Amino acid sequence: MNIKINIEKNKTKYKNKLFRGFGMVSANNSSRLLLDYKIDHPKRYWKIMRLIFGENGLNIRHLKVELGSDINSSSGTEPCVKRYREEKAQVRRGAAFILAADAKKINPDLTLDMLYWSEPKWVSDANVEADRYEARYKWFKDTLNAAYKELGLKFDCISPNRNERELEPEWIKYCSKKLKEETDCLYDFSKIKIVAADEEGNWRIADLMLEDEELLSAVDIIGSHYTSHCSENIRIMSDKYEKEIWFSEGCPPMSYSKGTSRFDGSGLSGINGVLDIADRIIAMYPCGCMTMYEFQPVAAAYYDGVTFGYKQLISAKEPWSGCYGLESGFYMALHFSLFIKQDWAFADSACICDGEKGGDGHALINTVKSCMAAYDTETGDYSAVICNSENIEKVYEINISGLEKSKTALEIWETRGCKQSAFEENIAFDENYFKKIGEITPIKSDNGYSFCVNVKPYSLVTLSTLRVKAPKLKSIGSKILSLPYCDDFNCSDKRLDMFSGTPKYTTDQGGAFEITDFNGKMALTQIITPDTKAEEWGATPLPVTSFGDDRWFNYSVSAKTLLAPSNTPDENFAGIGLRYNSACKGISGYSLLIYQNGKIAVRENDFVKAVYEYTYFGDFDLSLPHSLKISALYDKTKYYIDDKLIYGHSGDYCISAGRAAFYSYYAQNRFFDFKAEETDIFPYVNRFDDTDPEF
């Protein structure tokens, strides 16, 4: 199949249509474990950060952080910086703002943005719209001031509309007006740009902007999620009003190339695969007027089992070992980030993607032509990225005219699967990722210079006049977190000061678990109570945090647990768990819970139905700490309270290996002196994906 492309200078220059590069959305708990990399393996941490934000890596140019509210925003919770109106904003809770400060050290020109999924209860409790806007703005403003005072961060943008929820044009206008008029601030808030409206798959904001001049003036940048195609009114916003348009949240590949390459020799194809995502990035400009693609997430620094995993360019899930992995999508992104620089002009004549919307609603299918070309308006350097998501070879006939380097030789870089046919010798699945496969020199044509390039089936190719040196890339091998593992929550002052009580190795799925001082002893405390619980964005399990290694199998967990007084004794509980491996469920694996009303419950992978329940009577004093313990040995489990065996079970099935967990109701229940110990000479398992050769 032959496809003709003409690369030439645009006749019209638009400042709002220059390539803005890649962005990153840090949200949903996705960056949490990077805090532990920073403490345990600082060299690895900074290596990961350079891979994300450095010029020789993904060169992320824009970072959008979630302004969290302690509710699950799809794959975990982000902590709230202001749980009460008069509380000082705590920007060191969680990872978001610390990540931003460190990213700015690597790239001082990185632009910053923040967006909310839900808001603190003291904000949403305001009954009158004006009072709610005032409270919400105070939350934003105090956070901006604290981020600057504590970490030196100046935010360039704010995305004021709630993530992927109903449009609030009056609030957008209110926020814009207040920022422009602000005088009680530590830097010039009037320069902060408004991004709206972070809708999912549509562009209603443009319709409203055409009807409302104040809204049109208030919004500087228009962004939408998970669609490569825009509406006609967005084209008006781009062409007539010169608004920047962003793909303000997009998917990284959700694929497992190492395993799936067994079946088609590629591992890069299919819905949400590497080539599908590359097509979406290519399509964003010709089909959607968009100039930046923001990945959510870039680095998956949370444990497996979350909603929407497997989804990342880099995996960073073992802070104890410093292990990280560069996924196939990382190499895909290099085809763009190393060859098309920020503020290059898109070559309109050569930007095309004819894929149709389909699959899961986000994907592009039946794509025949797919090419993104851009050039440096000063030097005349240019690059073209071509994606072939079909199982046929394509020949692109490319003509270049009007560029200073039209006749300059181009390097050819390619990413493809491990083999092109079943007859090829098996090689490593990533052997052909991001390889320079040659150079090509254009020849004189009737209208400039031209050349042809063969694009293999299921492959991604970049052609560029730039001379790029491939970065030295390698994944760092995995290592099991060995047992016994203990934590008395007496963190170093350095960690407490840096992270404001964020406990080691934990990832919250519901509630907020923080290290606090209780009568001179450090405790892990679930902080959120009914009077601080924010409105749901989607669905949040009852408070739970998990930690440790997915490969722990034959082991026990124990901790002392102290219930806080609650007005709902039948509901208030705290407990421990092991073999936790499904974050989105809340309760996962085996768990032992103790309630304020004296009830004891044993649960297996289910919060609603207990395997065993009974109620303590007599002198069992719930105002004192009690020791809880679960022991697992293959299919046998035993449950203890204060060293007394209360229940044992041997079943016909065995819950798989998994992490340890703490559970709580929305009360400030506390945990002390955690310990995990092996119960057999074979305490660990190997984990396999169902596409691995073992199956």
Q: Residue 51 and residue 235: Cα distance in Å, rounded?
A: 34
pLDDT of 421: 61
pLDDT of 424: 66
**C-alpha R_g of the chain:** 27
pLDDT of 619: 66
Place of tokens 């290592």: 479
Intrachain domains 21-239 and 253-295+347-476 with the same fold: no
Please answer whether residues 505 and 319 qualify as being in contact, where contact means their C-beta atoms are separated by less than 8 angstroms: yes
What single DSSP character describes residue 71? Answer: S
Positive or negative torsion for Cα 324, 581, 544, 27: positive
H or E element in which residue 482 lies: none
Edge-to-edge strand order for the sheet containing 544-547? Answer: 507-510, 544-547, 659-664, 573-580, 590-595, 599-604, 612-615
Edge-to-edge strand order for the sheet containing 2-8? Answer: 2-8, 394-401, 448-455, 443-445
pLDDT of 104: 98
Distances (CA, A) of 310 to 114, 116, 305, 581: 24, 24, 8, 14
pLDDT of 389: 96
Q: Residue 161 and residue 171: Cα distance in Å, rounded?
A: 8
Positive or negative torsion for Cα 298, 163, 281, 218: negative
Going by C-alpha positions, the residue among 539, 530, 549, 548 that lies closest to residue 510 is 539
β-strand pairing of 612-615 with 513-518:
unpaired
DSSP codes of every residue in 171-197: HHHHHHHHHHH--SSSS-GGGPEEEEE
pLDDT of 652: 73
Q: Is 150 exposed, middle or buried (0-12, 13-18, 19+ CB in 10 A)?
A: middle
Q: Residue 456 and residue 390: Cα distance in Å, rounded?
A: 9
Going by C-alpha positions, the residue among 637, 593, 598 that lies closest to residue 616 is 598
Q: How many residues does the chain have?
A: 695
b/e sequence 91-117, b meaning 16+ C-beta within 10 Å? bbbbbbbbbbbbbbebbeebbbbbbbb
| Top-level class of domain 485-678 | mainly beta
β-strand pairing of 636-641 with 410-416:
unpaired
Checking phi first, is residue 184 left (phi over 0); if not, alpha (psi -120 to 50) or beta?
beta
| Top-level class of domain 253-295+347-476 | mainly beta
Place of tokens 């009954």: 127
Place of tokens 């003409």: 6
User: How do the domains of the chain map onto residue ranges?
Assistant: 21-239, 253-295+347-476, 485-678
**List of the chain residues with pLDDT < 70:** 421-425, 493-494, 496, 607-608, 617-619
Tell me the three-class secondary structure of 99-118, residue by residue.
HHHHHHHHCCCCEEEEEECC
pLDDT of 474: 87
158 forms bridges with which residues in the sheet? Answer: 194
Please answer whether residues 91 and 147 qualify as being in contact, where contact means their C-beta atoms are separated by less than 8 angstroms: yes
CA angle 426, 476, 309 (to 5 degrees): 80
What single DSSP character describes residue 505? Answer: T
| C-alpha torsion angle, residues 643, 644, 650, 653 (rounded to 10) | -50
Positive or negative torsion for Cα 143, 159, 276, 401: negative
Please answer whether residues 16 and 244 qualify as being in contact, where contact means their C-beta atoms are separated by less than 8 angstroms: yes
Phi, psi for residue 249 in degrees, rounded to 5: -160, 120
Q: Residue 48 and residue 52: Cα distance in Å, rounded?
A: 6
**Full-model pTM:** 0.96
Q: Residue 433 and residue 424: Cα distance in Å, rounded?
A: 17
Please answer whether residues 592 and 691 qualify as being in contact, where contact means their C-beta atoms are separated by less than 8 angstroms: no
The CB density around residue 425, as the number of other CB atoms within 10 Å, is 6
Q: Residue 502 and residue 167: Cα distance in Å, rounded?
A: 33
The angle, 0 to 180 degrees and rounded to 10, between the axes of the packed helices 274-288 and 328-337 is 30
Q: Given 3.40.50.10470, 4.10.1240.10, 3.40.190.10, 3.20.20.80, which CATH number is that of 21-239?
A: 3.20.20.80
674 forms bridges with which residues in the sheet? Answer: 487
pLDDT of 130: 94
Place of tokens 């919250």: 508
Phi, psi for residue 191 in degrees, rounded to 5: -85, -5
Distances (CA, A) of 432 to 262, 271, 333, 415, 460: 15, 21, 15, 6, 11
Q: Residue 628 and residue 620: Cα distance in Å, rounded?
A: 14
Phi, psi for residue 624 in degrees, rounded to 5: -110, 155
Which of helix, strand or coil describes residue 583? Answer: helix
